[in-house]
Amino acid sequence: MITAITNARIFDGEKVIRATTVLIEGGQILSVGGDIPEHAVIIDAEGGTLLPGLIDAHVHTSVEGLRDALKFGVTTELEMMGGFTKSGRETQLKGLDDIADVRSAGMAVTPPGGHPDELMPGDGEIPDFVLKELEKMSEEDRNAMLAAHSHDHGEAPTVTSRDEALAFVGEQVSAGADYIKIMIEEGTVLAAPGLPVLSQDILRTAVEEAHRHHKIAIAHVLTAESARQAIEVGVEGLAHLFIDRPETTPDLVKWIAEAGAFVTPCLVLNSSIIGHPASELAKDPRVSSKLSPEWIDTLNASFNTYPQGSMDDNYRNVMDLHRAGVDILVGTDVSVPVPSLGGLAHGVSVHHEMQLLVEAGFTPIEALQSATSKTARRFGLNDRGHIVAGARADLVLVDGDPTVTISDTLSIREVWQRGIRK
């Protein structure tokens, strides 16, 4: 069966193209433009814009999270710490066809008691949001989740030496990690100053070991000083934008650009850390109609751990990086529906992040590139992020023209994943 999407404005991942037709067959894009076969099923996209499926380059996810993401046209989530490595996908996601695709770092390189320990409840107890999830699940899903929980919390692997760093990275790779994540977080902006951080020597060893396995390394950093440390040990990308703006920022920006590293700013997270809830979005019927009450409550809350920060500094930091030629990727750091981790929701926050990038000074087209083609290129996901013959048919049709008005991305009419209409 061939599906023909006709009369669409098409943003192909880079730009708006002249063609207005896309043919889909067997999960792939068969052609862009050209004649429509007689027997094709026609979807008239008049008044709409067709986009490649969106990619969130920073999440911590679950089956529910992946399901919500897909509702908002986010067809791929990239987990920066979590269980959905290749082996996790095989055991937990088999047969599910209403969820976004996912890649994962597995567990992150961090010392005992290091980030994200301060965000977790103590003593391995099961947090409230997990208990709520468990009530809704089938017995089989519940047992799988409890097993995953005791695995995550029973062993809680950490690193204290170069040898352990080597072993730890090797374990993530054996589990099918798609890239390696390292933590550089001393806690100040998360209201937990004095968190332990691994030495530069151990971090460098972890990054080199990732490279030996042909994996890219990505660092958690939230300050300019930790960003400097991350670039020094050779990572390919920063999973956050530094939230402060010291006098040394121009040098740091230059250095990040020269290193060729990408930055996933997660402005939505920094905004929440500074104390802003995402209440406008929570009120928007295009959002609220698709979210559970728990996620609406979460959107209406914020981290609020660094109220002295300023979004103007964040906007200036991200624009300085962008103008210096650094690849900026759309990511959110969305995780679980807990108000203390608020201001975020799966799928929704990708749209919010694009809006904040435009607020900072990106053109809408640049914001869309950062949620599609740029991310695919930096993560080697060569089968997606573009509307081109042969690519996965992960597509989003929205009303209006988000290449002019970025918030139109929320006016979702249809989502296709691997050619299947959702």
Under rule CB under 5 A, residue 56 binds Zn ion? no
Q: Which residue is nearest to Zn ion (CB)?
A: 333
Task: Supply the DSSP symbol for 340.
Answer: G
Angle between helical axes of 311-323 and 267-274 (0-180°, round to 10):
160
Structure tokens at 151: 């695995």
Closer to Zn ion at the Cβ: 80 or 350? 80
| Residue 14: φ, ψ to 5° | -120, -40
For 217, the 3-state DSSP assignment is: strand
Q: Judge residue 400's burial from the number of C-beta atoms within 10 Å of its C-beta, 0-12 exposed, 13-18 middle, 19 or more buried.
A: middle
CA pair distance 115, 24, nearest whole angstrom: 44
Number of shown-chain residues binding Zn ion (CB under 5 A): 2
**Nearest distance from residue 57's CB to Zn ion, in Å?**
11
Under rule CB under 5 A, residue 219 binds Zn ion? no
Which one of 79-87, 121-129, 190-198, 251-259 is the stretch in contact with Zn ion (CB under 5 A)?
79-87
Please list, residue by residue across 326-342, b when 16 or more beta carbons sit within 10 angstroms of its beta carbon and e when fewer do: bbbbbbbbbbbbbbebb
**Nearest distance from residue 78's CB to Zn ion, in Å?**
10
Under rule CB under 5 A, residue 80 binds Zn ion? yes
Q: Judge residue 411's burial from the number of C-beta atoms within 10 Å of its C-beta, 0-12 exposed, 13-18 middle, 19 or more buried.
A: middle
Closer to Zn ion at the Cβ: 50 or 334? 334
Among 101, 333, 353, 408, binds Zn ion (CB under 5 A): 333
Closer to Zn ion at the Cβ: 235 or 410? 235
Which one of 77-85, 125-133, 138-146, 158-166 is the stretch in contact with Zn ion (CB under 5 A)?
77-85
**Nearest distance from residue 269's CB to Zn ion, in Å?**
8
Cα Dmax for the chain: 67
Closer to Zn ion at the Cβ: 24 or 80? 80
**Nearest distance from residue 185's CB to Zn ion, in Å?**
10
Closer to Zn ion at the Cβ: 145 or 219? 219
Residues engaged in binding Zn ion (CB under 5 A) = 80, 333
